[in-house]
């Protein structure tokens, strides 16, 4: 097996998430420039750029986003690549940047994630996102992702005798965390009663159980650990970067209570990092819906099956809990500009490990970011540490 170099994240940046007036390219440039300024390197040191985006061509009509973003940054002649893995596009872009440095093809690489969604009608956005379903089979049924996760919630309730009042605590926690986080779209606290009383979307999910359609961008700069040690700042070491694939269509899903891509990615990542789930201090996971946080937290090994909802209710996943999950506010409160989400998660983990987060977890030294696409068709898990 080829020996890979150790890699570190030396800079991160992101825009606010929400309803923004900037173009998708402008947002990507803003996030990228913030990441470059964060690590204080020169732009001409960047030797490769990867951009994660899912529905940019459908919603904005703009292709060649990686090339346009790179040229707008003043980067010329370097390889630039757009990657797409539905909602995991940002996580995949980061992994490609990490692998490019680890393999020695570049000393410095950048990952950017960007999405522009709010300027389009809701129906058009919903249809574009449904493109991550198999159009030959799932698409004909009229199923959407809220419908799919509604089925997940129904199955979870039936299997574990859980109730949506417990699951609603995911939203309560997320909104509480978002109050102090200026990048978040939804920053007002809510009660479980308000969550359950919001507009029905896909039984038993309510509107507040769903992440909001959003605009935004995030970025990260990576380099070799050897180079990072020579730079000023607070580099964060990559312990593991894993990508797996799972069921790309509903008929391939063996159980609505687990995502095989997540369980596989978690197992591989823990092995690669030489740790277990118990060693993780802070987590940013893919809570596209409230029930998704519950299932994901179990798949990642933080709780036994059927215990995730009660763990949230007990405060175990709060910022001051035993295993803080989504201290940023998560997708539910920060928003979910799909191509940017994976890198926004990493932004939060990096800030946590640097001791600079808005909702700082005490003594955080190991963090995990989990990004999931489609019906669990693709997944990335990234494990980071400040012990470099």
Q: Which residues are catalytic?
A: 87, 336
Q: Which of 208, 195, 181, 213 is closest to 19 using CA atoms?
A: 213
Give me the residues paired with residue 12 across strands: 220
Total length of the chain:
388
Beta strands in the chain (DSSP E): 7-14, 49-52, 80-83, 108-115, 200-202, 205-206, 216-224, 236-245, 282-284, 366-373, 378-385
Pairing mode of beta strands 49-52, 80-83: parallel
Contact 81, 66 (CB under 8 A): yes
102 CB contacts (<8 Å, ≥6 apart)? 4, 5, 6, 7
DSSP code per residue over 128-163: HHGGGS-TTTTGGGT--HHHHHHHHHHHHHHHH---
Residue 203 has a CB neighbour count (10 Å cut-off) of 12
Residue 140 has a CB neighbour count (10 Å cut-off) of 10
Buried b (16+ CB within 10 A) or exposed e, 212-235: bbbbbbbbbbbbbbebbeeeeebb
Separation between Cα atoms, residue 354 and residue 10, nearest integer Å = 11
Separation between Cα atoms, residue 134 and residue 150, nearest integer Å = 18
Instruction: Reduce the DSSP state of residue 175 to 3 states and report it.
Output: helix
């Amino acid at each position: 097996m080829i020996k890979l170099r150790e890699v570190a994240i030396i800079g991160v940046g992101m825009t606010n998430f929400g309803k923004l007036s900037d173009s998708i390219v402008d947002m990507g440039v803003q996030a990228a420039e913030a990441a470059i300024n964060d690590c204080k390197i020169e732009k001409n040191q960047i030797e490769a750029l990867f951009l994660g985006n899912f529905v940019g061509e459908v919603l904005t009509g703009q292709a060649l986003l990686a090339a346009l973003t790179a040229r707008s940054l003043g980067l010329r002649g370097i390889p630039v690549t757009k990657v797409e893995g539905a909602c995991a596009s940002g996580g995949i872009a980061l992994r490609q940047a990490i692998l490019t440095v680890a393999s020695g093809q570049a000393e410095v690489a950048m990952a950017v994630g960007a999405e522009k969604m709010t300027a389009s009608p809701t129906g058009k956005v919903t249809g574009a996102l449904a493109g991550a379903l198999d159009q030959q089979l799932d698409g004909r049924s009229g199923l959407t992702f809220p419908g799919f996760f509604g089925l997940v919630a129904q199955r979870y309730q039936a299997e574990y005798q859980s109730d949506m009042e417990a699951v609603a605590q995911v939203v309560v926690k997320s909104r509480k965390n978002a109050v102090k986080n200026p990048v978040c779209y939804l920053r007002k606290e809510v009660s479980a009663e308000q969550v359950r009383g919001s507009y029905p979307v896909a039984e038993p999910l309510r509107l507040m159980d769903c992440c909001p359609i959003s605009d935004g961008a995030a970025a990260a700069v990576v380099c070799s650990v050897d180079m990072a040690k020579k730079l000023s700042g607070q580099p964060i070491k990559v312990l593991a970067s894993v990508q797996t694939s799972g069921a790309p269509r509903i008929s391939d899903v063996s159980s609505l209570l687990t995502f095989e891509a997540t369980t596989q990615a978690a197992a591989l990542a823990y092995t690669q990092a030489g740790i277990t789930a118990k060693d993780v201090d802070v987590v940013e996971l893919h809570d596209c819906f409230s029930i998704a946080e519950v299932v994901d937290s179990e798949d990642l090994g933080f709780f036994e099956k059927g215990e995730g909802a009660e763990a949230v209710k007990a405060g175990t996943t709060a910022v001051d809990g035993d295993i803080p999950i989504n201290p940023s506010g998560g997708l539910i409160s920060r928003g979910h500009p799909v191509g940017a989400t994976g890198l926004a998660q990493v932004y939060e983990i990096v800030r946590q490990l640097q001791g600079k987060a808005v909702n700082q977890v005490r003594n955080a030294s190991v963090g995990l970011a989990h990004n999931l696409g489609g019906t669990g068709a693709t997944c990335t898990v990234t494990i980071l540490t400040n012990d470099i």
